[in-house]
Structure 1
Amino acid sequence: MPDVIAADGSIRNDSWVVVERPAEGESLNVAAGQPALIPADLWLAGYEHYVGRDDIGVWFDSHDEPEMLGEKVKELPLIAVNFPRFVDGRGYSIARLLRERFGYQGELRAIGDVLLDQLQFMKRCGFDSYVLRADKDISKAARCLNFFSQAYQAATDTDQPLFRRRAS
């Protein structure tokens, strides 16, 4: 299992398994006894079966809309957002929507093509855990999470831009 990086830079073993979307005509295969992240739309389709379980979370692909789950996001212990390619920034928007519009307070994880230079920006959008791409050096993660001492823009980590914070 890959390691997961927390927003404070600590590294821990990841017990969650990302369950891939089944092929056309196949059913979702979730292993018993292991925490699993399943596609968000399939969680919603089987809501009665999954609701209230702390061992089932969801993952959003970059083209998914968090609106599909609405207020039900608050029932999930973990939500992951897939970054299929480095240049695909839709996951940042998904994170901000989950935190700001839907009030999600649980663990929000970035998965997929996650690189070190993205970590601080992901953190500012509301992510609090990260699974790096396999070829990246996880030991550098803590430094990358706090590379900049100040941010100009408002985000999930501060509701005022820098010029307003300085004026106070």
Structure 2
Amino acid sequence: MPDVISQDGSIRQDDWVVVPRPAEGESLDIPEQSKALIPADLWLAGYEHFTGRDDIGVWFDSHDEPEMLAGKFQELPVIAVNFPKFSDGRGYSIARLLRERFGYENELRAIGDVLLDQLQFMKRCGFDAYVLRADKDINKAARCLNFFSQGYQAATDTDLPLFRRRAS
């Protein structure tokens, strides 16, 4: 299993398995004895079966709309957002919506094509856990999470822009 980086830069073993979307005509194959992240729309389709389980979370693909789970977010222990390519920025918007509009408070993690130079920007958008692409050095993650001492804009990590923080 890959490791996951926490917002404070610590590294821990990832005990969540990302279950891929099944091919057409196949059923969802959730591994036994493991915590599983399943596609958000399939979790919603099987809501009666999955509700109340702390070993099932969901993952959004970059084209998914988080509104599909409105009113049910706090039931999920983990939500992951897939970055299919490092240049696909839609996951940042999904994270901000989950934190700011829908008030999601549990773990929000970035998965997929996650690179070191994206970590601080992901953190500012509300992610608090990160699974790096396999070819990246996880030991450099803590430095990358805090590369800049201050952000100019307001974001999920601070609700005031820098000029307002300096004035007070």
TM-score of the superposition, structure 1-length normalised?
A: 0.99
C-alpha separation in 2, matches of 1:121 and 1:14: 22
Moved over 3 A (4+): none
CA distance in 1, matches of 2:44, 2:116: 32
In 2, the alpha carbon distance for the partners of 1:11 and 1:151 equals: 24
Q: How does 1:62-141 map to 2 (within 5 A)?
A: 62-141=62-141
Q: Does 1:165 align with 2:165?
A: yes
Structure 1 residues 18-54: Cα deviation after superposition (integer angstroms, max 9, x where no partner) = 0000000110010121000000000000000000000
State the partner residue of 1:56: 56
> Share of identical aligned residues, percent?
84
Distance (Å, rounded) in 1 between the aligned partners of 2:137 and 2:33: 30
Q: Report the TM-score when normalising by structure 2.
A: 0.99
Pairwise CA RMSD of aligned residues? 0.4
CA distance in 2, matches of 1:48, 1:103: 23
Counterpart of 1:11 in structure 2 is 11
What amino acid maps onto 2:158 in structure 1? T
Aligned residue identity for 2:103? G
Per-residue deviation, 1:71? 1.5
Equivalent pairs counted in the alignment come to 168
The runs of 5 or more residues in structure 1 that have no matched partner are none
Unpaired runs of 5+ residues, structure 2, are none
Deviations 1:96-154 (A, max 9, x none): 00000000000000000000000000000000000000000000000000000000000
Task: Determine the structure 2 residue equivalent to 1:47.
Answer: 47
Tell me how far apart the structure 1 counterparts of residues 39 and 53 of structure 2 sit (CA, whole Å).
15
